Structure 1
Amino acid sequence: MSTEPGGIAVSEAVRTLLLLMPRLVGRAKRLPMPPQLRDLDLAPRHLALLAHLEYDGPASVNELADRLEVAPTTVSLMVSELARPGILRRATDPSDRRRRIIAIAPDYTEPIRTWLSGSATAWEHVMNNLSPTERTTVVTALRSYETALHHQAQPKDEPKA
C-alpha cells in the first residue's frame, strides 16, 4: 500500500474505493427483506423514499422531493407506485385541506423498519467507533462523491461549429 504522510495516497484510496464500492452495494442488496415486502418489486429509489418517511415521518410530496433532491413529479410517481399495493397512504393535511400528507401504511411500518435496520445497524456500528470529526468527514466525502458522479453524468456541451 502506498502511503503519504498521515495516510494513504490519493491513487491508492481511489483504487481501494473502486474495489470496495461494488462489494458494499452487493452486501447491502443481500440484506434479508421481510416476507411482506418480497413480492413488491421495490427499487433503490423506493428505499430512499421509505427511509425518509421512516426516519423523518409523514410529509408532503414537495417536502419529500426536497429531501430526495428530485422533482415533485418523480416523487408523485413513486408515491403512486407504492400506494397502489398499500405500502403508502395519502391523507389530507388537517391544517391545509388542499395538501396531501404521505405516510407509511400501518401494516408496512414494522416490515420497513426491519428492512432498513440492517443498514442502519451497520452504519451505527461504524459511526460509534469514529470521532464526531471523522463522522463528518465520512458523510462529507460520500456527499461529495455523489455530487461528482452527478456532474460526470451530465452531458457535456458540444462545441459550436
Structure 2
Amino acid sequence: MKASYGFLALSMFLVLNACGNANQINASSMKTAHKSATWIKEHLPANQRVEFETAYWALRKQLKDDAAFLKALDKKNAVDVIELAKSHFAAGKAAGAADLAAYDSWEQMISRQIEQRGLQDPGSVDPKDKKGYPRVDYKMHAM
C-alpha cells in the first residue's frame, strides 16, 4: 500500500515538473528549441508575438554556432529572449554591424517589422495555384 502511494507521488511530481517549464525554451536540440519558441509565440499576447519572433531570429542570425545559440536560449522565457536580443542589438550597433545600421533603436526595428507584416496582403493568391485542379473530396453515398 505504501509503495503504491510512493509511486503515485513520484509520478505526480514528474508530471507537474514536466508541465511547469512550458513557457521556457527547451534547448536540448535545434528542433526542440524551434518547437518551444513556436509554442511560446503562439501563447503570447498579440502585441508581443512580433517582438519575440524577431528577437529569436535575430539571436539566431548573430549566434551562428548551434551550440552557442542553444546555450544562450536554454531555459529562457519570452521576456528573457527579448532582453538578450536587445543586448545583442546594442552590442552589434556599437560595433557598427552593417545590417543594424538602418535602425536607430530596437523599438524602431520592431516597428518596421510590424509595418512590413502589415504591408503583406494576407489574402494574396499564389499565381502557381490553379483554379481548375481536381477535387480530392467526394460525395459519400449511403450504401
TM-score normalised by structure 1 residue count: 0.24
Q: Which has the higher contact order (CA 8 A, sep 6+)?
A: 2
Judging by fraction of residues, say which structure has more strand: 1
TM-score normalised by structure 2 residue count: 0.26
